Amino acid sequence: MSGVLLADRYMSPMTDSDLDEVAAIEKLAYEFPWSRGNFGDSLRNGYFGVCLRHVTGALIGYCVLMPVVDEMHLLNLCVTPTAQGAGAGLALLREAVRITHAEKLDGLLLEVRPSNHRAIRLYERFGFATIGRRKNYYPARHRAREDAIVMRLSFATEGADGAA
């Protein structure tokens, strides 16, 4: 087992050997999932991929981070539906902040669907602030597109849950 041990689960860098599992969870969790190729391209482009696994080896969740100039962009954070609500998303978010700090970047930026109330609550609790909106950003089933709420965590104003 490699990575950082967290009680009954551990974090490790995402590799090509994780991509089939990652893509399978992505399809379970999202109506408009990233493809296996999207994840592979992210790794080949030098983005940070993180896997959260149970000590049994089962994949619980993952995230993908892209450094951009002076901040990190959280491109994807996903927890398998059967493990949602048990702190895995918070653990991944803390790891994203740890990596961002380690890279000496000023903050963490993300987009989230306005309809994803659970994620928005997590990000707000963590200290993210809404800084804008991207019109027609996401594909949507019952309308042409869905906006994205743009949120940012600035380390100067980081919330208590976001302390590294």
What the block records as the tokens of 95 is 């790891």
| Active-site residue, 146 included | no
Report which DSSP code applies to 87. S
Beta pairing class for 9-13 and 48-54: antiparallel
The domain that holds 124 is classified in CATH as 3.40.630.30
Residue 2: its pLDDT value, please? 47
Distance, CA of 97 to CA of 91 (rounded, Å): 10
In the block, tokens 């999207």 appear at 38
Number of structural domains found in the chain: 1
Catalytic residue (choose from 21, 30, 111, 137): 111
- Mapped onto helix, strand or coil, the DSSP state of residue 75 is strand
pLDDT in tens, the chain (164 residues): 345 556 788 999 999 999 999 999 999 998 889 999 999 999 999 999 999 999 999 999 999 999 999 999 999 999 999 988 889 999 999 999 999 999 999 999 999 989 899 899 999 999 999 999 999 888 787 768 888 999 999 987 444 444 44
Catalytic residue (choose from 10, 47, 62, 123): 123
- List the domain range (segments joined by +) for residue 10: 4-162
| Active-site residue, 123 included | yes
Q: In whole angstroms, how far apart are CA 137 and each of 42, 60, 117, 134, 155?
A: 19, 27, 17, 6, 26
